[in-house]
């Protein structure tokens, strides 16, 4: 129902109503050789988005299908320009006024194109939204005699149509107006069709937008240096339109951020927005764009999921607590450690909930007595002091020290962690260890620091040459493992992986097997990367039998947990050549004591459990805490729910 409401909100925002009874004639405006622009009339009624028409060698590309009634008018207009058929239609995004006419064109032989992200958005919303519009007396005329139809072909990046004389580039521009926005670029004529990723005037609907990447999308458009810009709404323009649109979002974000720093509420922030240049451009006061101000306010206060978390593809739990008739909204959350510094900003996402950050053990125990949640850590002491506890958020990815807490499972306390937050950094650390060993970087660094230049001594590394064409086994295809797989695949490696369940196909993984096939896969791998969490099943998993079964002379990388490796067996395998080299960010014991055999084992590169570190981590953790607090208070499914029974 939420998706239907969002689409109907778009319709209302666009002031959709029945077509005027008077005939409507569209007038294509020629803006280049074989290129036309139709600015849709808005009086006496709004009848849809602007449309582009581009002549190809053997047909026509129409940019935006519009509503079905408008699509038929566009077909008539095309026939006045050329005898060529409409061969392709591009939905620049999934909104009704740009895509509901798909079936009209497809039934006449056209192929409907869109970004893969647009197709996903459309499939999630448009069938129900089309039906809702068709059953509404005020809007049914727009879609009468037609149906919803998904785009037939999806793309990422750039899809090229046309030929050398009229190259047409369909570009997935990123999450601007919607997650699946596309623009059309004609480089020889420097014409850019922008859909609603750039509009001319006060037409921005932000219901499916994200202002930060929208600015980046506009930057991308500006770098194309167009001389003609054809927007989804408003009059034809030039590159100045892109600059105005970018300035609007940039200054709006700056204004809202200043207001929040001064602890102003939304009403005050909106009222104080005064941008004379915007009035000159758009014809309305900036403060009248209340929905835009509110959207950015919600973005910056965490009431909408932050972009950084969306990009990490964090997985929500399978249960929404508010769907249970017995669910009650929380009344108190205790903040500890890192989270204790977030009191002010968490108030925006936890309205009506008491947030406390007690200092000292006695104050903590007293605060926990009636707490619904604790954010920052959990322990037996915390659990015993909090009889009402429903949720605990920890700040580490590994949870081996938490899942065994007595009473956690029995009390059905939901545990969430920071999995996937550290994936990109740890994956880059894996590559650093791997490449340093293969290329002999660590040996070269030692020699050059001593003032020795000996290229013959270090050039070969451990003798594996280039990694391209080699095979890597990622053991544990979770959040970190998947990031490792992506990077190894990009380097031209064959990627094997293990995962507890073969739940889906991953484009970056050539073969996925369950853990019982570990040794079989290891026998084929030039590199083995351990990304497993520590559980009873993974403790001591990499033992003498594993190193014997694995391909002789492989490189072993461990960024999982030290206790998953039998250290004695690893040292023996290094010394007898079963393992050619090892890169270890974690060890057992940890830290390694002086004189430990690993210090003197052959071809070992050790880093002191530092792979997850980096300047981005505190910010990502702050965003995760804020988002999960918002979800908990709203009764939504939490992110990064730990399966306590499985230990991860």
* Cα–Cα dist 349/628, whole Å: 9
Active site includes 561? yes
Nearest residue to 50 (alpha-carbon basis) of 31, 33, 35, 37: 37
* Cα–Cα dist 349/367, whole Å: 20
Alpha helices in 147-232 (DSSP H): 211-223
**Strands of 111-115's sheet in order across:** 29-32, 35-38, 51-55, 60-63, 86-90, 111-115, 153-155
Among 253, 524, 596, 609, the active-site one is 609
Among 45, 216, 590, 596, the active-site one is 590
Crossing angle between the packed helical segments 423-439 and 441-449, to the nearest 10 degrees: 70
Query: CB neighbours (10 Å) of residue 52?
Result: 25
Q: Which residues contact 405 (CB under 8 A, 6 or more apart)?
A: 378, 379, 380, 383
Among 179, 561, 578, 631, the active-site one is 561
Strand partners, 630: none
* Cα–Cα dist 534/563, whole Å: 7
169: exposed, middle or buried (Cβ count in 10 Å: 0-12, 13-18, 19+):
middle
Cα 483 to Cα 487, 489, 512, distances in angstroms = 6, 10, 15
Query: CB neighbours (10 Å) of residue 590?
Result: 14
* Cα–Cα dist 229/203, whole Å: 16
Q: What is the 3-class SS of 266-334, one letter each residue? A: HHHHHHCCCCHHHHHHHCCCHHHCHHHHHHHHHHHCCCCCCHHHHHHCCCECCCCHHHCCCCCCCCEEE
Q: What is the 3-class SS of 392-428, one letter each residue? A: EEECCCCCCCCCCCCCCCCCCCEEECCCCCCHHHHHH
Query: CB neighbours (10 Å) of residue 646?
Result: 11
Are 99 and 65 spatial neighbours (Cβ–Cβ below 8 Å)? Answer: yes
What are the respective helix, strand and coil percentages of the chain, to the nearest 5? Answer: 40, 20, 45
Nearest residue to 296 (alpha-carbon basis) of 182, 221, 215, 219: 215
Active site includes 225? no
* Cα–Cα dist 471/25, whole Å: 62
Q: Which residues contact 637 (CB under 8 A, 6 or more apart)?
A: 316, 317, 318, 319, 320, 321, 631
* Cα–Cα dist 500/476, whole Å: 8
* Cα–Cα dist 426/476, whole Å: 14
Active site includes 609? yes
Nearest residue to 224 (alpha-carbon basis) of 173, 157, 162, 179: 173
Q: What is the residue whose two structure tokens read 């969430």?
A: 416
Residues with a catalytic annotation lie at 561, 590, 609
């Amino acid at each position: 129902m939420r998706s239907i409401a969002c689409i109907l909100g778009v319709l209302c925002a666009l002031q959709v109503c029945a077509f005027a009874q008077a005939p409507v004639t569209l007038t294509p405006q020629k803006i280049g050789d074989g290129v036309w622009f139709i600015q849709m009339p808005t009086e006496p009624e709004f009848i849809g988005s602007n449309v582009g028409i581009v002549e190809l060698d053997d047909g026509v590309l129409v940019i935006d299908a519009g509503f079905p009634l408008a699509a038929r008018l566009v077909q008539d207009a095309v026939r006045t320009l050329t005898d060529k058929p409409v061969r392709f239609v591009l939905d620049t995004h999934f909104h009704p006024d740009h895509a509901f006419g798909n079936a009209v064109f497809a039934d006449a032989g056209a192929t409907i194109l869109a970004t893969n992200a647009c197709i996903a958005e459309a499939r999630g919303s448009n069938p129900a939204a089309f039906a809702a519009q068709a059953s509404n007396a005020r809007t049914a005329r727009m879609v009468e005699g037609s149906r919803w139809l998904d785009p037939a072909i999806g793309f990422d990046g750039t899809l090229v149509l046309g030929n050398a004389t009229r190259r047409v580039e369909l570009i997935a521009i990123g999450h601007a107006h919607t997650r699946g926005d596309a623009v059309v670029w004609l480089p020889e004529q420097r014409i850019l069709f922008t859909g609603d990723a750039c509009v001319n005037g006060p037409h921005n609907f932000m219901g499916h937008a994200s202002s930060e990447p929208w600015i980046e999308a506009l930057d991308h458009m500006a770098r194309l240096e167009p001389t003609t810009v054809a927007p989804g709404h408003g009059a034809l323009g030039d590159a100045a339109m892109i600059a105005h649109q970018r300035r609007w979002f940039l200054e709006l974000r700056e204004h809202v951020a200043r207001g929040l720093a001064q602890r102003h509420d939304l009403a005050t922030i909106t009222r104080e927005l005064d941008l004379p240049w915007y009035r000159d451009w758009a014809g309305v006061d900036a403060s009248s764009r209340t929905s835009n101000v509110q959207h950015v306010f919600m973005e910056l206060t965490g009431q909408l999921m932050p972009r950084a978390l969306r990009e990490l593809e964090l997985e929500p739990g399978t249960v929404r607590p508010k769907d249970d008739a017995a669910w009650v909204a929380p009344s108190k959350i205790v903040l500890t450690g890192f989270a204790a510094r977030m009191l002010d900003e968490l108030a925006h996402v936890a309205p009506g909930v008491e947030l406390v950050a007690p200092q000292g053990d006695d104050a903590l125990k007293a605060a926990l007595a009636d707490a619904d949640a604790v954010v920052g850590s959990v322990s037996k002491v915390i659990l015993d002091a909090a009889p009402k506890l429903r949720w605990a958020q920890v700040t580490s990815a590994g949870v081996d020290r938490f899942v065994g807490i007595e009473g956690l499972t029995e009390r059905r306390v939901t545990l969430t962690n920071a999995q996937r937050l550290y994936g990109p950094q740890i994956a880059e650390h894996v590559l650093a260890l791997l490449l340093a060993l293969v290329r002999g970087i660590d040996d070269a660094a030692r020699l050059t620091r001593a003032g020795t230049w000996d290229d013959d001594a270090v050039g070969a590394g451990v003798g594996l040459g280039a990694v391209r064409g080699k095979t890597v086994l990622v053991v544990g295809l979770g959040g970190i493992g998947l990031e490792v797989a992506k990077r190894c695949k990009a380097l031209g490696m064959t990627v094997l992986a293990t995962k507890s369940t073969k739940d889906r196909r991953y484009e970056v993984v050539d073969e996925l097997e369950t853990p019982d096939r570990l040794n079989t896969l290891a026998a084929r791998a030039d590199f083995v990367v351990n990304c497993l969490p520590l559980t009873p099943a993974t403790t001591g998993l990499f033992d003498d039998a594993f190193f014997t079964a694995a391909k002789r002379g492989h490189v072993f990388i461990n960024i999982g947990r030290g206790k998953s490796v039998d250290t004695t067996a690893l040292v023996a395998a290094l010394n007898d050549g079963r393992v050619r080299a090892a890169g270890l960010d974690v060890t057992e014991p940890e830290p390694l004591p002086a004189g430990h055999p690993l210090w003197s084992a052959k071809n070992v590169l050790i880093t002191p459990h530092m792979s997850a570190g980096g300047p981005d981590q505190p910010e990502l953790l702050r965003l995760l805490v804020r988002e999960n607090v918002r979800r908990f208070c709203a009764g939504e499914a939490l992110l990064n729910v730990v399966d306590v029974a499985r230990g991860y």
